[in-house]
C-alpha cells in the first residue's frame, strides 16, 4: 500500500510492506511496517498515532515479537524454495 499527502510546504509518502498487530498484557497494538523505514504505529482502523510509542514500550515489544516471527517465516520460505531448486 502507498499513499501520498501534499500539504503546505510538505510532501509525505508512505510505502509499507505489511500490516501487523500484537498483544501484550491484554492490550492490542497495531502498525504498518516498511522494511526500509520500520514500523509506523496506528490505531486499529489504520490511522497513524499522533504520538509514536518509544522503544521501551509494550508496543515495541509486540512489534519485535511480530517482526521476529515474520523474519523466521521468510527464512523458512527461502530455505524451502532453495531445497526445491536442488532436487
**21: β partners:** 30
Residue 85 Rama label (left phi>0; alpha psi -120 to 50; beta): alpha
pLDDT tens digits, 38-81: 999 999 999 999 999 999 999 999 999 999 999 999 999 888 87
* Higher-pLDDT residue of 20, 9: 20
Is the distance from CB of 21 to CB of 28 less than 8 angstroms? Answer: yes
Is the distance from CB of 39 to CB of 55 less than 8 angstroms? Answer: no
Q: State yes or no: pLDDT of 4 exceeds 50.
A: no
Helix (H, G, I), strand (E, B) or coil at 40: strand
Amino acid at each position: 500500500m502507498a499513499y501520498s499527502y501534499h500539504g503546505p510546504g510538505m510532501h509525505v509518502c508512505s510505502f509499507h510492506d505489511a500490516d501487523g498487530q500484537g498483544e501484550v498484557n491484554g492490550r492490542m497494538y497495531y502498525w504498518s511496517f516498511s522494511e526500509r523505514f520500520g514500523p509506523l504505529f496506528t490505531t486499529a482502523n489504520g490511522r497513524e498515532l499522533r504520538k509514536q510509542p518509544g522503544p521501551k514500550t509494550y508496543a515495541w515489544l509486540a512489534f519485535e515479537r511480530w517482526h521476529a516471527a515474520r523474519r523466521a517465516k521468510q527464512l523458512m520460505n527461502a530455505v524451502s524454495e532453495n531445497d526445491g531448486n536442488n532436487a
